[in-house]
Structures are given as C-alpha cells and as structure tokens.
C-alpha cells in the first residue's frame, strides 16, 4: 500500500469529494510554485525509458500515459502535474465563457467499485483565464479540451454552438500542443445530444477551419457501439485534415452493462456519469471498433478505468496511441503513474 493509500486517502475521503479535489488541486498549485518540490516530485515519480517514448498527433511524448481532462479544468496545477511522470496533460474542459456548472453535490465516490460519479456540468473559469495560466514554460506537452459554454439559459440549438467553440479555440490554440473538442459532455443535459446529428460535427469543423487551425485536433466523442455512426464520424473527419485523432468520453447516465457491484438504488441517488474501472470494458469495446475503422490513419486517446498497468496495456493493445487516467488517481494517488509505466516496461 502506498503512503497515499494508507495516510492521505483516508483523510481526503473524510471530506466531500469536490472539496477534497479542490484541496488537492490547491496543494498541487502551491507545491508547483517551488522548484524544490517539483524536482523532488520528478525524482520520486518519473520513469524515463526510451521504450516508453511515443508520439501523439506528431507531438513527441516521453511515455503513453496522460492525465485525462477534468482533473485540472483551469490549468491551476500544470507545473506540479507536469512533474508527476505523465507523458502529457489534458487541461479543461474549458469553454469560451466561464460557467458555474451544475448545482452541488455533483461528485460522488463509489469506493467498493473504485469509481466516481460525476455531474459537474463543466464548471470552468473560461478561455481567457486559462490562457493567462498557460503562458509559462512547461515540462510535458499540454492538450486543451474545449467544450461549449454550459449555460442552461442558452442550450445548444444552432450555429451559436460553433461560434462558442470557435471563440475558445481562437483564444487557446496557441497555448496548446493539441486541442481536444469535447463533443458530448455527459453532464451538460441541455447540450450533450447536440452532435448526435452528425452533420453538425462537419459544420463545427468547417467553422473552425476559418480560424486558421495551427494545432492538431482530437474529437472526444460520445460513446456509441454503433459502428455505422463511428464510420460516419470518421468520414467527416476525413474531410478536415487538421483532425488527428479521436477520444471516447464517459457514457451519460449509467448503462446497464457497466461493471458495478454497488446497489442500483444507491447509485440512482448519485446523478451523473460513472468513471473508473466499471466503464473499462464498455469503453474498450468501442475503442476496438473505432480502431478497426480508423486503422493507423488516426491517433486514439483512450481513457476509462485505467487504474493498473494491465488496464493501460489492454488499451494500448486494442490500438490506443496513448491512454489517460483520472479516477485511478483518486483511489491510488500519484504513485500510480510510476506503477503503470513500470508495469508497461515489464511487458515491453
Ligand atoms: C470528476 C471528473 C470530471 C471530468 N471532467 C471532464 C471534462 O471536463 N471534460 C472531459 O472531456 N472529460 C472529463 N472527464 C472524463 C475524463 O477525462 C475521462 O475520460 C474519464 O473519467 C475516464 O477515465 P477514468 O476512468 O480514468 O476516470 C471527467 C471525469 C471525471 C471523473
């Protein structure tokens, strides 16, 4: 058991999950200001080995394990997170305008399944605030994940959605090594189905093309097992050469085939999407289908239940270019990054 698991986690788990997260982020932000702390973290957590090196959308990476979007929505802790051994970080989701997200409580732990239920609704400080924070040098490549501003008074309806993405894209693309477009936040109830009409993805990409796209784009898709839909999305991407790859978001709600042991009625008291090991098989099935469609034409970012080297390895074997994690950090702490990378090396 790591120090995190035996000493830190019990304290954090006594707190409300969102408060625990905010404290962790504040501590990381503070620690990251000290070069001494960053160096110590780098020594403790980093695994360097040429066999781990890879690339994503043409960006060289020290290893294939990244931090998933949602952990550091506002780029507060990039300096510290960059010292934890990740090969890349994905910041966001960020929207053009700041948003408060959904009412609280909106984050729940399911310890018996090492899962999290999230209903944040993409609260964030907006593109300009994040741009300011990302002005300094950084240790690892940073992707920025963009989403439409969540404003219940202005649900996604028409072309203003494209304008919202275009606005955040214009502000942030120069701060990013890649830009991920979150096309279905499972927790923005008013917006999450907008891109179910697939020609709208084409319309969004055509609108972004007017912005002089200088960074590779990744489309973070609503999960679907419908190979026909995935094929259609890939065909749309084929028309926009700046699209470099795809990622798969969490499913909204709680599909019956998630691997949960917690009783359904207690789960039903937690609104939101499930992250962590219960979604692993669900996401992996879609990853396999997507890979069979894209072949090697596109890069794939895979997240969903990566809490062990075995889980990361499985996704890489299924065709992921890189894997990302979030929920695993909550249950296992930062040592998980090194544990996974060491485990991948053992399988190399
Ligand atoms: C608390 C929480 C907040 C998240 N916020 C975002 C977000 O803002 N944008 C996004 O694209 N994905 C978000 N995600 C999804 C993660 O990026 C990732 O795809 C998902 O959690 C699966 O990985 P995991 O099982 O390792 O958590 C969030 C996930 C969690 C648990």
pLDDT digits (tens, 9 = 90+) for 13-32: 999 999 999 999 999 999 99
341 lines ligand 1 (CB under 6 A): no
276 lines ligand 1 (CB under 6 A): yes
- Given a cut of 80, whether residue 187 has pLDDT beyond it is no
Burial of 285 (0-12, 13-18, 19+ CB in 10 A): middle
120 lines ligand 1 (CB under 6 A): yes
- Given a cut of 80, whether residue 295 has pLDDT beyond it is yes
- Given a cut of 70, whether residue 186 has pLDDT beyond it is no
Atom of ligand 1 nearest to the CA of 90: 17
- Given a cut of 90, whether residue 345 has pLDDT beyond it is yes
Query: Is there a cis peptide before residue 93, judged by omega within 30 degrees of 0?
Result: yes
Q: Which of 275, 300, 329, 330 to mutate to test the pocket of ligand 1 (most atoms within 8 A of CB)?
A: 275
CB 95 within 8 A of CB 148: yes
Nearest Cα to Cα of residue 133 among 75, 70, 65, 92 = 75
How many CB atoms lie under 10 A from the CB of residue 259?
A: 15
pLDDT band at 184 (very low <50, low <70, confident <90, very high): confident
pLDDT band at 185 (very low <50, low <70, confident <90, very high): confident
Phi-psi region of 222 (alpha: psi -120 to 50; beta: other; left: phi over 0): beta
Query: Is there a cis peptide before residue 188, judged by omega within 30 degrees of 0?
Result: no
- Given a cut of 90, whether residue 156 has pLDDT beyond it is no
pLDDT band at 340 (very low <50, low <70, confident <90, very high): very high
* Domain boundaries of the chain, sorted by first residue: 3-347
User: Residue 1 has what pLDDT?
Assistant: 86
Residue 343 token pair: 């485990």
Q: In this predicted model, which residue has the larger pLDDT, 191 or 53?
A: 53
CB 115 within 8 A of CB 64: no
20 lines ligand 1 (CB under 6 A): no
- Given a cut of 70, whether residue 214 has pLDDT beyond it is yes
- Given a cut of 70, whether residue 285 has pLDDT beyond it is yes
Q: Which of 20, 65, 68, 270 to mutate to test the pocket of ligand 1 (most atoms within 8 A of CB)?
A: 68
User: Residue 241 has what pLDDT?
Assistant: 97
56 lines ligand 1 (CB under 6 A): no
What are 66-115's pLDDT values in tens digits?
A: 999 999 999 999 999 999 999 999 999 999 999 999 999 999 999 999 99
Place domain 3-347 in its CATH homologous superfamily: Aldolase class I (3.20.20.70)
| Beta bridge partners of residue 117, listed in sequence order | 108, 274
275 lines ligand 1 (CB under 6 A): yes
Cα–Cα distance measured from residue 165 to residue 231, given in angstroms and rounded to the nearest whole number: 24
């Amino acid at each position: 058991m790591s120090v995190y698991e035996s000493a830190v986690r019990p304290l954090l788990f006594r707190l409300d999950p969102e408060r625990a997260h905010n404290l962790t982020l504040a501590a990381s932000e503070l620690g990251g200001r000290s070069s001494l702390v960053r160096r110590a973290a780098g020594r403790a957590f980093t695994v360097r080995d040429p066999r781990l090196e890879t690339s994503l959308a043409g960006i060289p990476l020290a290893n294939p394990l990244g931090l998933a979007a949602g952990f550091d929505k506002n780029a507060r802790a990039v300096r510290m997170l960059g010292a934890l051994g990740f090969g890349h970080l994905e910041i966001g989701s960020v929207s053009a305008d700041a948003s408060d997200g959904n009412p609280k409580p909106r984050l729940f732990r399911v310890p018996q399944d090492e899962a999290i239920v999230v209903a944040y609704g993409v609260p964030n400080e907006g593109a300009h605030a994040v741009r300011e924070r990302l002005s300094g040098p950084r240790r690892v490549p940073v992707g920025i994940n963009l989403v439409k501003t969540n404003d219940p008074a202005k649900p996604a309806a028409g072309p203003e959605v494209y304008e919202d993405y275009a606005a955040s894209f214009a502000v942030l693309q120069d701060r990013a090594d890649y830009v991920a477009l979150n096309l279905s936040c499972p927790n923005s109830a008013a917006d999450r189905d907008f891109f179910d009409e697939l020609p709208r993805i084409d319309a969004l990409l055509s609108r972004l093309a007017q912005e002089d796209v200088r960074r590779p784009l990744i489309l973070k898709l609503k999960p679907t097992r419908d190979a026909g839909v995935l094929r259609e999305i890939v065909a749309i991407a084929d028309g926009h050469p700046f699209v470099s790859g795809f990622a798969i978001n969490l499913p909204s709600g709680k599909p019956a085939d998630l691997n949960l042991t917690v009783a359904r009625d207690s789960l039903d008291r937690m609104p939101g999407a499930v992250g962590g090991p219960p979604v692993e098989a669900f996401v992996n099935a879609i990853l396999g289908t997507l890979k069979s469609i894209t072949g090697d034409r596109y890069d794939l970012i895979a997240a969903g239940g990566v809490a062990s080297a075995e889980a990361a390895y499985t996704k890489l074997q299924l065709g992921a270019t890189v894997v990302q994690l979030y929920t695993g950090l909550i249950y296992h702490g930062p040592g998980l990054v090194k544990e996974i990378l060491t485990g991948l090396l053992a399988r190399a």
